[in-house]
Amino acid sequence: MNDAVDTTTALKAKLYGTRGSPEAYAIRDFLHRCDIFFEWVELTSDAQARSEAGTSGLHDPRLPICQFSDGTRLEHPTVRQIAEKLGWLRTPSRTEYDLAIYGGGPAGLSAAVYGASEGLRTVLVERFALGGQASTSPRIENYLGFPRGISGGELAERAREQADRFGTEILLLRTGVRGEFTPGRGVGHLDDGTRLVARASVCATGVSYRRLGLPDEERFLGAGVYYGAGASEAELCGKAGVFVVGGGNSAVQAALHLAKYAASVTIVIRGASLKESSSEYLIARVSRTPNVKVMPCSEVVALDGGELLHTITLRDNQTGKEWVEETNWLFLCLGGVPHTDWASEVGIVRDAGGYLVTGPDLIADRDRPPGWTLNRQPYYLETNIPGVFAAGDVRHGAIKRVASAVGEGAMAIALVHRYLNGG
Ligand SMILES: Cc1cc2nc3c(=O)[nH]c(=O)nc-3n(C[C@H](O)[C@H](O)[C@H](O)COP(=O)(O)OP(=O)(O)OC[C@H]3O[C@@H](n4cnc5c(N)ncnc54)[C@H](O)[C@@H]3O)c2cc1C
């Protein structure tokens, strides 16, 4: 984004599309997570599609359409084309950096702020929108300094501005796919063929949503099935009945947020009660919110519909009874899994769940990790490859909170300095 932010604030966008369009959802999700103001116009009739969006009707393949206030009209655009229009796509300006950060969630953004502000030539690579999981949260209430809470999108945008101000180069909509590491030199390969060279690297790639694993899940993604708290979707729920799957804090937060807009919200959990998985203050709020109910010992076992999700099948795991509920809104908050296959390819130690193992956790019976050649033990957030650090949720043993991810991002930079100074 960087120098393009001015463009963003000046430029207003109107997005025209139909309900249940996965492409429109991807754009809404992206703009919302980037904290960009836009107007969503849901087209409900051919006449409206003709008069307002200038299309032949609701099934015109040019939909969704993004109309910018400078007159630019993007028909059936990709998220990348929108980011390009906003001036957010850039190419690396250097052939070599001091620090490359992979992942632009709270941990990566924090590392970027501290790295760049402390004089490191810093580049940050983010595969989608900045803010990571946090940017999908409508309200983070336990992050220090925000007594009334802050939306994840706004927190991410503030952090982006801060990182940018200190000179971090942000490469958006790019994915790190492979790495090669030799002492003092890491080469990161991005999905678009870009090659980033840096003296030290921080992996802050977090986790991605766990899926239900049901046959039609992919088909309904953005067309009735949504991952996370649905920050961009809540207001669109109208007076519908909404289902949230998952019993952790993020699921309960999602349910409480959705309850402000939906007629009813049902939290589907496998366990016997929320007490096993969620914080007390959230459970207390659920009990004070009349349109939220908890469906214990249950799970979603099938999805059905046409272009849009129409019904879900639920099963009571105690009795085995199955039944069908009508809904167009299913939010999945099932926690996450790290995607660190690239790390095992280069010999970075992972735990059984794929999380990156760092520092003291690499030391078995006082022995340093196999292949470790330095005359010191790995630093607290350092992997078994010197100069490659991990911070935030991707790390084995991480606390999985915004504050701890931000703390680890900052700590990683202190350790990067030690490493670069020959320690
Ligand atoms: C809905 C929801 C609500 C939450 N609410 C709270 C809350 O109220 N309070 C709290 O403390 N915590 C909350 N959490 C947890 C908190 O958001 C996470 O612990 C935190 O975001 C972890 O930060 P991270 O930077 O380690 O990882 P993530 O936030 O997962 O960010 C990782 C980033 O890396 C990117 N990425 C992944 N792979 C690559 C790659 N190969 N190349 C480039 N980029 C890549 C991802 O796109 C992502 O942006 C919530 C989580 C969710 C899902």
Q: Residue 87 Cα, ligand 1 centroid: separation in angstroms?
A: 24
pLDDT reading at 3 higher than 60: no
CATH number of the domain at 2-85, out of 1.10.10.10, 3.20.20.210, 3.90.1150.10, 3.40.30.10? 3.40.30.10
pLDDT in tens, 225-278: 999 877 888 989 888 899 999 999 999 999 999 999 999 999 999 999 999 999
Shortest-distance Cα residue to atom 17 of ligand 1: 134
Q: What angle do CA 312, 313, 319 make, to 5 degrees?
A: 150
* 229 CB near ligand 1 (under 6 Å): yes
Q: Which long-range contacts (CB under 8 A, 24 or more apart) does 339-342 make?
A: 339/205, 339/208, 340/203, 340/205, 340/394, 342/176, 342/177, 342/178, 342/179
Enclosing H/E stretch for 294: strand 292-295
pLDDT in tens, 333-344: 998 899 899 999
Instruction: State the sign of the Cα–Cα–Cα–Cα dihedral 106, 111, 112, 114.
Output: positive
Longest dimension (CA), the chain: 73
pLDDT reading at 5 higher than 80: no
* 202 CB near ligand 1 (under 6 Å): no
Q: What is the pLDDT of residue 62?
A: 98
Q: Residue 133 Cα, ligand 1 centroid: separation in angstroms?
A: 3
Strands 185-190 and 176-182, bridge-based pairing: antiparallel
Identify the CATH class of 217-332: alpha beta
Q: Residue 106 Cα, ligand 1 centroid: separation in angstroms?
A: 7
Burial of 239 (0-12, 13-18, 19+ CB in 10 A): exposed
Residues 6+ apart with CB under 8 A from 419: 200, 379, 382, 386, 387
Q: What is the pLDDT of residue 9?
A: 53
Quote the mean pLDDT of the chain: 94
* 138 CB near ligand 1 (under 6 Å): no
pLDDT in tens, 59-105: 999 999 999 999 999 999 999 999 999 888 999 999 999 999 999 99
pLDDT in tens, 306-324: 999 999 999 999 999 999 9
Percentage of the chain lying above the pLDDT 90 cut: 85
Question: Residue 4 and residue 2: Cα distance in Å, rounded?
Answer: 5
Q: What is the pLDDT of residue 412?
A: 98
367 pLDDT band, cuts 50/70/90, is: confident
* Same fold yes or no, 2-85 and 217-332: no
pLDDT reading at 347 higher than 90: yes
- Residue ranges covered by each domain of the chain: 2-85, 97-207+338-420, 217-332
Mean pLDDT value across residues 4-21: 74
- The CATH code that applies to domain 97-207+338-420 is 3.50.50.60
Mean pLDDT value across residues 383-390: 97
